[in-house]
Structure 1
C-alpha cells in the first residue's frame, strides 16, 4: 500500500505518493549511507516544489510512461517519479531506471 503525504511547497498542491519499492530504497539508504539518504530527502522536497526544474538534473524519461521523470541521486542511482496533475508518485530511489 503506497504512503501518501500532502505537502504544499508550490503554487500547485500535489499529493506525494510513496510506492513500497521507493520506501524500501529510502530505508536502504538510511541504513547504509546516511549522507545519501539526506540527499534523497532534499531531492524529494525539490521535486515537490517543482517537478520539472531544480537540483539533480531533472530529466524526462522517454521510454517509460508519459510523465515519468528522474533526478540524479549519484552517478549510478536515480530517483524516478511520475508527475500527474494532482499527485507525484515516487517509484524508486536506487539503481538507474
Structure 2
C-alpha cells in the first residue's frame, strides 16, 4: 500500500542535513522510508513502537546512533525526525 509522505519541520531539516552531509546514511534513510511506506510495522531497520512520552511513534535504525522516528495513520506516513534518538525525545516533549 502506498502512503502519503508527510514531514514535520524537524524531520525535513534532518533529511536535508543527511542529503548534504552524509551520503551513506542518506542512502540508508531513503531505503528505510520506502520500506516504511510499504510495511510500517515490520521489515528492515528493526521497527519498534516507542514507549512512555513517545507512545504512538515508531522507530527504525538508520545506523548505530541515528533513528527514523515516524507515525502512521490513515493520512500517511509522518516523518518526525531522522537523526539522533536523544534529540527526538527533546523535540517531542516540547
Q: TM-score, length-normalised on structure 2?
A: 0.83
Unaligned runs of 5+ in 2: 89-94
Indicate the residue corresponding to 2:62 in structure 1: 73
Q: Which has the higher helix share?
A: 2
Provide the rounded CA distance (Å) in 1 between the counterparts of 2:60 and 2:67.
6
| Contact 2:3–2:38 (CA under 8 A) maintained in structure 1 | no
Task: Give RMSD over aligned pairs.
Answer: 1.2
Superposition misfits of 4+ residues, deviation over 3 angstroms: none
Indicate the residue corresponding to 1:44 in structure 2: 33
Give a deviation string over 1:12-63, Cα, whole Å, max 9, x none: x432101121111111111111111011010000000010011000000022
Q: Which has the higher strand share?
A: 1
Provide the rounded CA distance (Å) in 2 between the counterparts of 1:30 and 1:87.
23
Indicate the residue corresponding to 1:83 in structure 2: 72
Provide the rounded CA distance (Å) in 1 between the counterparts of 2:19 and 2:4.
23
Number of matched pairs: 85
Unaligned runs of 5+ in 1: 1-9
Give the alignment partner of residue 31 of structure 1, picking from 12, 20, 33. Answer: 20
